[in-house]
Amino acid sequence: MKIFIKTFGCRSNIFDSELMKNRLHYLAKNEEEADLIIVNSCTVTNFADRDFRKYINKWQNKKIILTGCGAYTQGEKLFKNGKIQAVLGHKYKENIDEFLNFKGIKLGDFDFKNKTILKKIHKTKAFIKIQEGCDFECAYCIIPKVRGHSRSIDEKVILEEVNILAQNGVNEFVLTGINMGSYGKDTNTSLASLIKKLSNIRGVKRIRLGSLEPSQITDELIELTQNGVLEKHLHIALQHTSDKMLRIMKRRNRIFSTLPLFEKLADMGLALGSDFIVGHPGESEEIWLEALENFKKFPLTHIHIFRYSPRDGTLSSKMKQDVKGDVAKKRAKILEEIVKKNNFDFRSKKTPLLVHIEDNKNGISFGYDEFYNKMKLLKPFEKGEWVRVENYEVKDDMNVAQK
């Protein structure tokens, strides 16, 4: 039986798909040659639900198993309508080979932690899941209901996993989780402690981090950004820059504490990314203008902007949807332009860069530097190669080197 895995959504899902691939022996290159398609779904928004449902409808001539977060919100309905043959919860992903002939719904509980060690990957860098679930209760977010409470994966599992992959030639590792900064709270350790140990593993050249909450940025973690292994880029989730809006969203961060943090990190030479939701219910013109003025003060070089869309089952979806789509789109564009200029100015400092090559096409190579900025090199390099670049041009969307 040939199997194809289709992945939607976040880095944790990317890791889970690699975990499943490691359990399977006959992987198909595409849907056409597959006998079975495993859909590892995302349900973070109603649009995410729509995307994987559309995919499932397209491949009705194949046997389909649905897993991932969408299994909890859409699985029963899709199964009853005969669109899929099986629904499996998160805890069954690492034993997926035992359920290839399963028919029915089996979601299980959230009291599991991944124990399987990822021994091979299909990319130039490895996504390493260190944590599952979330204890936050943001008004717009469904994820705690479909991933469960926060729990840390055993440190020994993570260290062994990275050690094996490093021995197999992987040397960039992206740590990820649903609320990654909470790592270690339930196991009497910390994210900083884990990073120190990972940095000492032979073959590890760069560690990147997924999204963190402002309250999870400790002095110990900040110090590690200077160790040469942890990349000089932190992604710290703000979601908004109006305290009034943050209260509506049931967020824990506030401007008075986060702005000094960002300024401190920028003074240390770090590139800083964040998330921002525009158009959330309650984002009046007054709140938007306050947020915009505050946003300009943050030294952001990278941004993920989301235009709010209701997620069924969340508190926000029950609020009055009072921001029109075209208004949210204009607001998003304004924020994007601010950060685009910040990023250009940051890159214009022209420091020497260490670039990890991730792709090459027609003799041209592409990769990312330690500040998570894209580099285009007008010369062929092997995927996975590391290149020191000193002379390059700063373009609007990336740096370009002749080397």
Which token pair is 392?
A: 């390059």
Q: Which fold has domain 126-347?
A: pyruvate-formate lyase- activating enzyme (3.80.30)
Which token pair is 320?
A: 């009055």
Rg (alpha carbons) of the chain, rounded to whole number: 22
- Domain positions in the chain: 3-106, 126-347, 353-401
Same fold, 3-106 and 126-347: no
Q: Which residues of 200-216 are buried (b: 16+ CB within 10 A; e: fewer)?
A: ebeebebbbbbbbbbeb
The sign one gets for the Cα dihedral 183, 188, 193, 199 is negative
Determine the 3-state secondary structure of 19 from DSSP. helix
**In this predicted structure, what is the pLDDT of residue 123?**
75
Which helix (H) or strand (E) is 40 found in, with range?
strand 36-41
Report the predicted TM-score, pTM, of the whole model to 2 decimal places: 0.91
Which CATH number is correct for 3-106, 3.40.50.12160, 3.40.47.10, 3.40.50.300, 3.30.300.180? 3.40.50.12160
d(CA 232, CA 217): 14
- The tens-digit pLDDT sequence of the chain (403 residues) is 999 999 999 989 999 999 999 899 899 999 999 999 999 999 998 889 999 999 999 999 999 999 999 999 999 999 999 999 999 999 999 999 999 999 999 999 988 888 888 777 767 899 999 999 999 999 999 999 999 999 999 999 999 999 999 999 999 999 999 999 999 999 999 999 999 999 999 999 999 999 999 999 999 999 999 998 999 999 999 999 999 999 999 999 999 999 999 999 999 999 999 999 999 999 999 999 999 999 999 999 999 999 999 899 999 999 999 999 999 999 999 999 999 999 999 999 999 999 999 999 999 999 999 999 999 999 999 999 999 999 999 999 999 998 6
Q: Which residues make Cβ contacts (< 8 Å) with residue 219, sequence separation at least 6?
A: none
Which helix (H) or strand (E) is 193 found in, with range?
helix 191-199
- CA dihedral of 169, 273, 46, 39, whole degrees rounded to 10: 0
